[in-house]
Structure 1
Amino acid sequence: MASLRDMAAAGIGLALAASGPGPAHAEAPQAAAAASDSARQIALELNTIDQTDEACRITFVIRNALGSDLEGAVFEAVLFDSGGRVERLTLLDFGALPAERMQVRQFALPGLDCARLGAVLINGAESCAGKGVGAGDCMAALWPTSRVQGVEMLK
């Protein structure tokens, strides 16, 4: 059976990151950011998902290793169900991200069944700005990983 990554790439022609380990690797954000001394990354880890009465609460650990504070970062995310179908598109506002500091952000997504979540695709940077940094830089530096078994992080 094809993985969600294969289905997404074949079904909607997405280009996935070609360098480094794939999103199935669950590295701590600090380990990913420290992968090389010259690493200029935004390590984005899907850390946990928890079902509440009304929503699926998704927790990310993020570390900005771009060498510059980010005044704000908003990413467009596409949520796929376990069958590879798009469940929804949403904007995730991570707010300000200081350089070289780990941050935790939670998002409650009403009406989403966590048990059916199969993948989170970061489709693009709606906004991402800091001194000498723009949205394109943020997407190029994005390093998505997942600690949640059965849920991939893609870019």
Structure 2
Amino acid sequence: MRADREHDFSLYVQARIPRLHRLAFQLLGDRHKADDAVQNALTVLYQRWSRMRDVENLDAYVHTMVVRSCLSDRRRWWARVQLRATTPDVPVAADDPLVEQRMVLRAALRRLPEGQRTVVVLRYLCDLPVAEVARILGRSEGTVKRQTFSGLGNLRRMLDERTRSAA
């Protein structure tokens, strides 16, 4: 790749990597797997970068690549192998009043079935319309709507149960 194209690629990636990583983390629930999924998508993007001038909406294209990378990562049998006996501690900002709410929501999202979690994250955390989510996942809009409805219902039940048990 020519130096000017490589520079353009670096600038593009630097500007978007935090958002892509947040998306992957919400879909996978693991920082290391999210790093791998984003890296895999960006590796493919780098290989195709010279052809990306013709892509109408590059951000949407890359977003789709990351989502598909996350979904393919989940399908691999070795992705379920746990190599640690305990979960590593995740640093938490003690002064943030919303930390507990975020942790509860993330735990509830991880308990959703894969399809529901993916649709809920794309619809509400990434703020994508139904048609775009359907296009990214290769599903019908009706399926996306049904999984959204079911996912939100399951989240409400989980959060209500937690609220009742905490009281």
Please tell me the TM-score bracket, short chain as reference: under 0.3
* Larger-Rg structure: 2
- Could you say which structure has the higher strand fraction? 1
Report the TM-score, using the length of structure 2 for normalisation: 0.21
Length-normalised TM-score, structure 1 = 0.22
Higher relative contact order (CA 8 A, sep 6+): 1
